[in-house]
């Protein structure tokens, strides 16, 4: 019997420049940067939990394949669904 802990999934952003995930603004070159960061997230095994954490903490930047505007939309949609239930 092995006592070794199971290997934790490695975040896809581990080898990326952290600045990629924190664009300045959301126009012009920042749009391209946001899309590049989201592309990294899309190949990340931790995307769902990362997104949930960002929603819980109200993070800035790109997390879990979303930017701040995406997460604001998600929160508004969830609030509308709760209100309609
Ligand atoms: S989903 Fe989260 S952990 Fe994965 S690459 Fe994106 S920011 Fe990093």
Q: How confident is the model at residue 30, as a pLDDT?
A: 96
Task: Report whether residue 61 contacts ligand 1, using a CB cutoff of 6 Å.
Answer: no
66 membership: H or E segment, kind and range: none
For the chain, domain boundaries: 20-84
Distance 50 CA to ligand 1 centre (A): 6
Distance 39 CA to ligand 1 centre (A): 10
33-75: pLDDT as tens digits: 999 999 999 999 999 999 999 999 999 999 999 999 999 999 9
14-32: pLDDT as tens digits: 999 999 999 998 899 999 9
Q: How confident is the model at residue 53, as a pLDDT?
A: 97
User: Which atom of ligand 1 is found nearest the CA of 47?
Assistant: 1
Q: What are phi and psi of 77, to 5 degrees?
A: -60, -45
CB atoms within 10 A of CB 29: 10
Q: How confident is the model at residue 5, as a pLDDT?
A: 81
């Amino acid at each position: 019997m092995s006592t070794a802990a199971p290997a934790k999934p490695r975040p896809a952003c581990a080898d990326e420049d952290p600045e990629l995930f924190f664009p300045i603004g959301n126009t012009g070159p920042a749009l391209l940067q946001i899309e590049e960061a989201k592309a990294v997230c899309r190949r990340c095994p931790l995307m769902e939990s990362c997104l949930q954490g960002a929603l819980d903490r109200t993070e800035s930047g790109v997390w879990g394949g979303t930017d701040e505007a995406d997460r604001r939309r998600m929160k508004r949609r969830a609030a509308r669904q709760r209100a309609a239930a």
